[in-house]
Every structure is written in structure tokens, then in C-alpha cells.
């Protein structure tokens, strides 16, 4: 469910990932011999173009992380608490995809539009599925499809996402992970003085891991064909001790 990693600058990707071959094969004169091609890769993990998982140390609010852990535990050298290393063995569980554009009969939600708790419940009813305790909830807003069809835009300023009041649904159902093909938060923020209220409520308050900027365009037709919207979901972040997040490519197994 990962989107292709972007190596070109775009309005939503001012700091693109870097990828180059550090030792491309250079066959000796006359051919033959053994050669290895090697790569170097770098990326802004929390950018608006690439799929990633947010660790619990990613969100600092009023000087603390989740559970009241002091923000001072996160320094330039890394996080000594609540890093992505907490999920170094992966996350495996029941995934549930709720497709909000499908519910509304549109290809995507326009930037700035909100997904409410009522939308989530209506999508459950329409798709005949129910989100339960410990589930990996995936909410499609159509961000990736819009980007493919209309081109990149500055998603930091305008994007569809969950309304903060929808977090009550996450708490009520006791989900374990929240993922979306957007950022999970709406921009502009509907909460005065807080730019990412869903991140604050979900990660900082509830202790959920978030997955941002996934893509569901391959999964949706498979779910429609199978008439099911739940599946085994396997999330395997990189083992990056002290990191605030990781690139991620979740796998759905129907």
C-alpha cells in the first residue's frame, strides 16, 4: 500500500528523496569479471509525498510526548523514548479499509474536506464491515488518485482528512493504528491554534501509530471484487533505533 518513493521535487515534495548508484557497473575492457551495482538512499521521512509511519515520539504537545514523556527525550541524536523501535518486530492485525469517496459517489474528497465520525459509520454500513478492537483502520480520502489525475499540489496547505471529532470514533472502537492516503489531518486545520489536531489526539493522547500518504488504488478494486473490506494487514517499518518514523509499505492479504 505504499506510494512510489518520489525523487523529483514537486509542490508537495520540496525535499525529494535522494537515490543514486554509488558504484554503477563498469565492465572492464573485453568484458567478464564480477561487478556489483550499489545504491545510496536518503529521504525526508515525514514529507507529504511518501508513505511513512509516525512513531509515538513524532508529536510533541505542551512539552510532552504520549504518556507525559518529556519532550527532552527527543534530541538531534534521536529519541530515547517512544521511537519507531517500539514496533521493530512489525505490526500484524486485521485491516479495515473505509472508502469515503466511494460512500459519497465521488472520485476523491477535495482538499479541505473533512471525514466525520458519521462518515466512518456510514461507510461501515455501506461496506458491511465493522471496525473493532485492535484493528488497523485505513481511511481512503482519494488523495493519491487526485494527485495522479490532476498533478501534485501543496498538500501542506490544502488536503482532505479526518475531522478532529472523528477521533472519538477511533477511541470508541479502540483501534491500534490509523492510516490514510492523505496525512490523516485536514488542512487548513479546523482547530484554532493547532495545525494537526488529529495527530495530537491520535498519537499524543491515544498512543496510536499513524501511517500517512499510503495508496489504496490497487487495493480498492480487489476489495470490491471480493466483496470484503477487511483483510490481514502486515506493517513492517525499518529497524531505525531512535527514529521518529520510517518509510513503510503495508501489505494487505485478502
* CATH number assigned to the domain comprising residue 92: 3.50.30.50
Task: Calculate mean pLDDT across residues 190-206.
Answer: 98
Note the pLDDT of residue 32. 67
Q: Residue 155 CA to chain centroid, in angstroms?
A: 14
Residue 176: DSSP 8-state: S
> Residue 201: beta bridge partners?
none
Residue 125 lies in a domain: yes
* Residue 192: domain span: 52-253
Residue 5 lies in a domain: no
Contacts of 22 (CB under 8 A, 6+ apart): 38, 39, 40
208 has a pLDDT exceeding 60: yes
Note the pLDDT of residue 192. 95
Q: How far apart are CA 31 and CA 23, in angstroms?
A: 17
The pLDDT tens digits for 16-64 are: 999 999 987 776 655 667 888 899 999 999 999 999 999 999 999 999 9
Question: Is 90 buried (19+), middle (13-18) or exposed (0-12) by CB count in 10 A?
Answer: exposed
* Structural domain total, the chain: 1
Reported pTM: 0.94
Residue 126 lies in a domain: yes
Residue 87 lies in a domain: yes
Task: Calculate mean pLDDT across residues 155-178.
Answer: 98
Note the pLDDT of residue 60. 98
Beta strand 39-42 pairing with 18-21: antiparallel
Residue 216 lies in a domain: yes
Q: Residue 154 — very low, low, confident or very high, per pLDDT cuts 50/70/90?
A: very high
DSSP 210-235: EEESB--TTHHHHHHHHT--EEEEEE
Amino acid at each position: 500500500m505504499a506510494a512510489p518513493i518520489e525523487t523529483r521535487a514537486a509542490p508537495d515534495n520540496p525535499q525529494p528523496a535522494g537515490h543514486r548508484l554509488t558504484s554503477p557497473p563498469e565492465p572492464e575492457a573485453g568484458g567478464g569479471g564480477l561487478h556489483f551495482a550499489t545504491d545510496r538512499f536518503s529521504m525526508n521521512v515525514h514529507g507529504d509525498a511518501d508513505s511513512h509511519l509516525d512513531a509515538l515520539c513524532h508529536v510533541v504537545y505542551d512539552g510532552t510526548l504520549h504518556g507525559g514523556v518529556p519532550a527532552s527525550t527527543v534530541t538531534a541524536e534521536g529519541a530515547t523514548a517512544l521511537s519507531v523501535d517500539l514496533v521493530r518486530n512489525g505490526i500484524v492485525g486485521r485491516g479495515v479499509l473505509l472508502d469515503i469517496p466511494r460512500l459519497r459517489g465521488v472520485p476523491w474528497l477535495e482538499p479541505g474536506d473533512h471525514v466525520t465520525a458519521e462518515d466512518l459509520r456510514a461507510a461501515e454500513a455501506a461496506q458491511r464491515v465493522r471496525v473493532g478492537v485492535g484493528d488497523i483502520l485505513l481511511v481512503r480520502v482519494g488523495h493519491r488518485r487526485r494527485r495522479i489525475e490532476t498533478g501534485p499540489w501543496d498538500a501542506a496547505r490544502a488536503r482532505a482528512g479526518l475531522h478532529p471529532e472523528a477521533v472519538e470514533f477511533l477511541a470508541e472502537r479502540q483501534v491500534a493504528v490509523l492510516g490514510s492516503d492523505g496525512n490523516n489531518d485536514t488542512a487548513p486545520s479546523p482547530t484554532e491554534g493547532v495545525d494537526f489536531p488529529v495527530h495530537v489526539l491520535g498519537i499524543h493522547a491515544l498512543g496510536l501509530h499513524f501511517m500517512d500518504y499510503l495508496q489504496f488504488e490497487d487495493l480498492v478494486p480487489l476489495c470490491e471484487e471480493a466483496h470484503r473490506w477487511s483483510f490481514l494487514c502486515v506493517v513492517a517499518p525499518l529497524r531505525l533505533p531512535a527514529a521518529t518514523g520510517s518509510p513503510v509499505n503495508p501489505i494487505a492479504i485478502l
